[in-house]
Structure 1
Amino acid sequence: MDTDKATTTATRKNSLVDLHCHILPGIDDGSKSLADSLALARAAVSEGIGYIVATPHHLDRHFVNHSADVRRAVVAFQHELDQAQIPLTIYPGQEVHLNGDLAKRLPDLIGLDANMNYLLVEFPHEEVPQYAEELFFELSCQNITPIIAHPERNARIIKDPSLLYEFINNGALAQLTATSLVGGFGRKTKKFSEELITHGLVQIIASDAHMLKNRQFALRDAYFALDDLDRSYGPIFYQNSRHIINGEPLNHPIAAAPIEKHHFFK
């Protein structure tokens, strides 16, 4: 990953970084074709996004996208973007489904940065595996910080947010989906997303875009929503994404605090 591209943005209007996006054509449940991917790319640029980590699903029940395959797909798609003169830079990544032997699969995994200091991981939608704490410890011993994808949509975390607090308190990070914050998944998810932000339990906001029809970017609107919560939040989340894509530590995290159980449903 040429991280210089992600740090030289003084003259570039589209400087937002999207760390979670299913933009590569035909390899998971995101874009189905090159035409769809180019349409997504144009939509991303129109929202001010200049850098995307392509994160196809890996090791879930439906998709396996090995490291070498993802890297080849990124090179091919970047060529198409350049030919179409779309000012967007794509980096390889994966959304890795959590499983018990993940630490043994590291050679086939791609982080959100070149040195895999950060790894995007996905819990099963209905649960938090009991082995997650031990696995996260194993990753930390390899100097890898796990980033939990879209915790606001995990049924177990919704019921008991203290689970997420414990992960964050032990060094993990979490990524909120932009659509969740702007109400695309409903009022309760929006409220819970706001709670996670104000309690410091998510540190990154990303699109998790799949297609234009109903899983769009919404990243620009999400940054406006951050401003509505607190004017300091937008710059923090913006810088966090840039630090992560460059493999750097986060400088300005919001202090983590527990959420009262079911508080967001009252």
Structure 2
Amino acid sequence: MAMATDTTATHTKKKNSLIDLHCHILPELDDGSKSIEESLKLAREAVADGIGYILATPHHLDRHYVNHARDVQQAVDEFQDILNEQQIPLTIFAGQEVHLNGDLDERLDDLLGIDSALNYLLIEFPHGEVPEYATDLFFRLSLQGITPVIAHPERNAQIQKQPELLYQFIADGALGQLTSTSLIGTFGKKVQRFSEDLIEHGMVHVLSSDAHALPNREFKLREAFLELDRLDRRYGLQFYENAKHLLNGEPIDHRIDLTPIEKKRRFLF
């Protein structure tokens, strides 16, 4: 998957250069789009936001949805044909948002990675906790040459309380995917501040939309990149390059040092 190269993420000669590695744009597969009309609306909104490439990531192996690899690929091929007919300048790739299960390393034949070689796998934790078996599973995946990419850790209740859990996963080789709307405040100030902490402490590596055809689940990827620029002018290009390398299955060179988040002391007076 050869991607275009740009000098910056938010200021580029190529109009649609942004890469979204987490999006529920395919119709009738999960809680994202419910129809081809909604999917086309999402596609046009993505293009308007400066996005040119989307990894479609329907839920897989959670309590509600099973989306086998072959079915997702077929849905992507069919939707890409429609996009081409409609002359919507958007390229779709097949992926999955894989729910954490203890036997994922035994299901690899039915898993779609962020890249076609399955070097990177987008994994979702339960929203309220981090299962104890995750560390052992991630180690077993690493033995297969797979790097787990943790989806939206900033919205996980246990990680919010114990960011050291995420720190250890990243120190052991995993990566983190931050949601664009978390960074711009859609999920509230607490999640926004925590997102900034994760960025500045090197615990997340890529920005993605996690867009659905639902209220307050828009793309907002360009706005989030501008927020990265506000935090530090070096961050936008770093996150853009990371997304490109992940989609191509290449190693990343993340230059924001990994450091623990110190717990704030409480004072009575």
Please, what TM-score do these two structures have when normalized by structure 2?
A: 0.94
Aligned ranges 1:11-22 → 2 under 5 Å: 12-22=14-24
Q: Is the 8 A contact 2:32 2:214 kept in 1?
A: no
Q: Is the 8 A contact 2:184 2:224 kept in 1?
A: yes
Q: Is the 8 A contact 1:57 1:96 kept in 2?
A: yes
Q: For structure 2, list consecutive stretches of 5 or more residues without a partner in the other structure.
A: 7-11
Q: Match for residue 169 of structure 1? A: 171
Q: Match for residue 69 of structure 2? A: 67
Q: Is the 8 A contact 1:60 1:96 kept in 2?
A: yes
Aligned ranges 1:41-52 → 2 under 5 Å: 41-52=43-54
Q: Percent identical across equivalent pairs?
A: 63
Instruction: Give the total of aligned pairs.
Output: 260
Q: Is the 8 A contact 1:159 1:261 kept in 2?
A: no
**Cα distance in 2 for residues equivalent to 1:164 and 1:150:** 11
- Letter of the 1:174 counterpart: G
Q: Match for residue 220 of structure 1? A: 222
Q: Is the 8 A contact 1:160 1:262 kept in 2?
A: no
Q: 1:7, CA displacement in angstroms?
A: 3.4
**Cα distance in 2 for residues equivalent to 1:68 and 1:249:** 26
- Output the aligned Cα RMSD: 1.3
Q: Is the 8 A contact 2:30 2:59 kept in 1?
A: yes
**Cα distance in 1 for residues equivalent to 2:234 and 2:172:** 24
Q: 1:133, CA displacement in angstroms?
A: 0.4
Q: Match for residue 79 of structure 1? A: 81
**Cα distance in 1 for residues equivalent to 2:173 and 2:247:** 18
Q: Match for residue 184 of structure 2? A: 182
Q: 1:251, CA displacement in angstroms?
A: 1.8
Please, what TM-score do these two structures have when normalized by structure 1?
A: 0.95
- Pick one of 4, 14, 23 that aligns with 1:7: 4
Q: Is the 8 A contact 1:40 1:212 kept in 2?
A: no
Q: For structure 1, list consecutive stretches of 5 or more residues without a partner in the other structure.
A: none
Q: Match for residue 239 of structure 1? A: 241
Q: Is the 8 A contact 1:176 1:206 kept in 2?
A: yes
**Cα distance in 1 for residues equivalent to 2:225 and 2:194:** 16
Q: Runs of at least 4 residues of structure 1 off by over 3 A?
A: 7-12
Q: 1:11, CA displacement in angstroms?
A: 6.8
